[in-house]
Structure 1
């Protein structure tokens, strides 16, 4: 008969201790880089809230700003052109290709060019998310760390690159669990202890660094104080069905962007950013709050719905529909124009808008109480994101961590699962896998 000493491992002989330590260092470095990236974007987008109203008052400033925009386009093209395949879009499909053995990456070039290129694309207000560049920069840091300290060992490189992915998303949204789950559910597709333990360590460390910069408040805090009544749960199935159809429409348009932009022959691809950069100016003059990724817009929408009230809901819904159309069209223009930038936050904003449009209708028909409209916004973000990304677990964890509430997991899960199934039945696919096949066909 064996004893505990025969069965248990010897103390201080963990197989993962060295890798966890390395993953933690990757997480710390990623947290520092992403925190600086986030801070610059936040400060710049706040500055746009001052610049655009000033331009509306002094019209000749618009010409000067347009000239600056052209300079930004030229600099951005210069930065991304030598490594255009690596730098366009979020970078997640490229990282998937590296892990699948289809691609390689010059980590040092990608790191600084993605940092500068991401800022040049996002700071002027293009409808792009910060999380894609953060994920790719984290992966570059992981690869570089492996090359310098582990002599580019293939298995360790894959592990530390994976750590960088989790750390990048964790730092972008202060969401370590969602960062780790995203890696497992959408990148590596397996639950191997060596991967998830080191990735979780990296995600925790990167989030700890961002807490030092931005505090402990969730980055998309929503004051969910009431629980959706049980008799309202069946409507979550119908709303999930609608969001699944909308998610398929988003995928269809996004996956045609490269084909549409390929028809533009007069301007080199690295300078296609001139179209969204100039077209964003009239949008900013109309409503600067709509610019950017933008998590601030979601908070503004919640405040707007609360302030307007349900008694004026026809005008409210018309206002939100205009927001929805502009956000959708300009998100497509921004992502398709050969620029660095992610789709996480734009997807979440569109999901929030769909929730903002649905909630007043549901309140007017007495399907849900008026106090629960914020719940619908949060559920819609999770369902829309989960369907497009084909990552329901990541969606639920991400929204839970971002909004700072775990009160309503069941209805959120119901809606997300239905939206995922509908999108899958219509022929939808994991969006990053589909994008990878486009880029590396």
Structure 2
């Protein structure tokens, strides 16, 4: 009789497991999505704190060795160069797919065209991303967070041996959790998967709930590690005058044109780098070392054109720059963003794009205020709208851009001008034949993979011919 009660509970627990955790039940996917969200949020939080830690460590080393009177920028060059070179080496040697933002890789994986080697990608993306971003390069942390979250999703899928359809849902759930945690924006993380990955995502009630749960849990974890404040501290604007909506539409038209050229420049820069290193490892690492040295110097002498640009947004929106300075900063940051992201360094382009949108939006607001002072009284509001405008034009995900900016800045009353700006940017970009940047990057990756495979096949055939000739 003494063992009857424990056996009752043991059998009851087994029945519970069989009922709720069977692979045939959606309950398993539900609980796995929660677990993935927790892991994705934890990884993203550690990545965020790691960037801060390694950046502060780099500055401490620079100031320590600069006590002898050596210029700080001169000391920063070799330190940042070594950091970036290590990041490039790890990427090329162990997981080339961890280069760049990694978002095209996830989209390709959801279509079954790209592998997800999470055992390699998770450590390489994490460490390489820390070193690349910590060196001062103009990259964002959201790309690594998305790829890390998605790879966590695939890891859990492999461990629990879920089927292909559920595995795709968990991959998407991890990606949503990564973006939600990176920007403290759960709605934007959810919408990014639904909107940006619409051609790859298998829409169903179960898969959609998985994405929701992961994004929510990842955000909760991130807020436990950090706080619940908005990522960017800016002015809280009231509902704009309806007379200004036409100007927001014009701003969106401008971003539609800028976005097309920006996407073309990204692809052109990547092709330029490829023509230089031709896939050879030490040439690739050499480029990383040179870029690291350059951005190490810039991080000391001109920090406004280095780093992700997130720290710059409040200063721009706060009116600390004149129109001429904003134009110069926009041009220089466009250049540094292209140099960083186009190189294949493990980092994202979301944050630099948001910073560029803020710069141009503020410039537009100041010019508009000078021409129409009675209508445009708050140029900073155009800076907020600009954050979403350029994102919508380049990524072609306007709803994600709107939600992302609102959640990042807590400017909920800016929703109408954001909608108008993002809609205008998307319409112009689409009418001019522009295509989403991640779609183009995925196509480029697939073409390069096919080219490499054909070259490998040709080389093997030539080697066999040579062997037969020697015999």
TM-score w.r.t. length of structure 1: 0.89
Question: d(CA) in 1 for partners of 2:171 and 2:90?
Answer: 23
Aligned to 2:242: 230
Question: d(CA) in 2 for partners of 1:232 and 1:391?
Answer: 24
User: Offset of 1:193 from its aligned partner?
Assistant: 1.8
Aligned to 2:296: 281
Stretch deviating more after TM superposition (82-91 or 174-183)? 82-91
Stretch deviating more after TM superposition (256-265 or 352-361)? 256-265
User: Offset of 1:318 from its aligned partner?
Assistant: 1.4
Question: d(CA) in 1 for partners of 2:135 and 2:288?
Answer: 11
Task: Verify: 1:110 aligned to 2:116, yes or no.
Answer: no
Q: After superposition, where does 1:250-261 map in structure 2 within 5 Å?
A: 250-261=262-273
Task: Verify: 1:424 aligned to 2:435, yes or no.
Answer: no
Distance verdict in 2 for CA 1:323–1:44, change over 3 Å:
farther
Preserved CA contact (<8 Å) 1:228 1:368: no
Preserved CA contact (<8 Å) 1:31 1:210: yes
Preserved CA contact (<8 Å) 1:49 1:288: no
Question: d(CA) in 1 for partners of 2:373 and 2:62?
Answer: 40
Preserved CA contact (<8 Å) 2:126 2:144: yes
User: Offset of 1:173 from its aligned partner?
Assistant: 0.3
User: Offset of 1:325 from its aligned partner?
Assistant: 1.4
Distance verdict in 2 for CA 1:367–1:244, change over 3 Å:
farther
Question: d(CA) in 2 for partners of 1:220 and 1:269?
Answer: 34
Residues paired across the two proteins, number: 421
Aligned to 1:326: 332
User: Offset of 1:240 from its aligned partner?
Assistant: 1.2
Question: d(CA) in 2 for partners of 1:44 and 1:412?
Answer: 35
Task: Verify: 1:408 aligned to 2:422, yes or no.
Answer: no
Aligned to 2:205: 193
User: Offset of 1:317 from its aligned partner?
Assistant: 1.2
Aligned to 1:144: 155
Aligned to 1:166: 176
Distance verdict in 2 for CA 1:74–1:343, change over 3 Å:
closer
User: Offset of 1:368 from its aligned partner?
Assistant: 6.3
Preserved CA contact (<8 Å) 1:270 1:338: no
Q: After superposition, where does 1:63-102 map in structure 2 within 5 Å?
A: 63-102=74-113
Distance verdict in 2 for CA 1:378–1:368, change over 3 Å:
farther
Aligned to 2:5: none
User: Offset of 1:61 from its aligned partner?
Assistant: 4.4
- 425, 439, 445: which one aligns with 1:439: 445
Question: d(CA) in 1 for partners of 2:68 and 2:178?
Answer: 40
Aligned to 1:393: 399
**Cα RMSD (Å):** 2.5
User: Offset of 1:152 from its aligned partner?
Assistant: 4.6
**Deviations 1:35-58 (Å, cap 9, x if unpaired)?**
011112234446677777896994
Question: d(CA) in 2 for partners of 1:51 and 1:319?
Answer: 31
User: Offset of 1:272 from its aligned partner?
Assistant: 2.0
**Deviations 1:231-265 (Å, cap 9, x if unpaired)?**
11111221111111111110110111221112214
Aligned to 2:215: 203
Question: d(CA) in 2 for partners of 1:56 and 1:426?
Answer: 55
Preserved CA contact (<8 Å) 1:52 1:288: no
TM-score w.r.t. length of structure 2: 0.84
Distance verdict in 2 for CA 1:228–1:51, change over 3 Å:
farther
Preserved CA contact (<8 Å) 2:255 2:389: yes
**Deviations 1:370-391 (Å, cap 9, x if unpaired)?**
6522221111111110111000
**Deviations 1:82-101 (Å, cap 9, x if unpaired)?**
34431110001111111111
Stretch deviating more after TM superposition (287-296 or 91-100)? 287-296
**Deviations 1:178-225 (Å, cap 9, x if unpaired)?**
001101111243542222211110000000001111111010232223
**Deviations 1:265-285 (Å, cap 9, x if unpaired)?**
495224421232122234223
**Deviations 1:268-323 (Å, cap 9, x if unpaired)?**
224421232122234223332443113111012223x1x56xxxxxxx11111221
Aligned to 1:213: 225
Question: d(CA) in 1 for partners of 2:138 and 2:102?
Answer: 16
Aligned to 1:154: 164
Aligned to 1:35: 45
Question: d(CA) in 1 for partners of 2:285 and 2:78?
Answer: 18
Question: d(CA) in 1 for partners of 2:97 and 2:131?
Answer: 16
Task: Verify: 1:297 aligned to 2:312, yes or no.
Answer: yes
SS of the equivalent of 2:294 reads helix
Distance verdict in 2 for CA 1:422–1:197, change over 3 Å:
same
Task: Verify: 1:18 aligned to 2:28, yes or no.
Answer: yes
SS of the equivalent of 2:135 reads coil
Aligned to 1:5: none
> Larger C-alpha radius of gyration, 1 or 2?
2
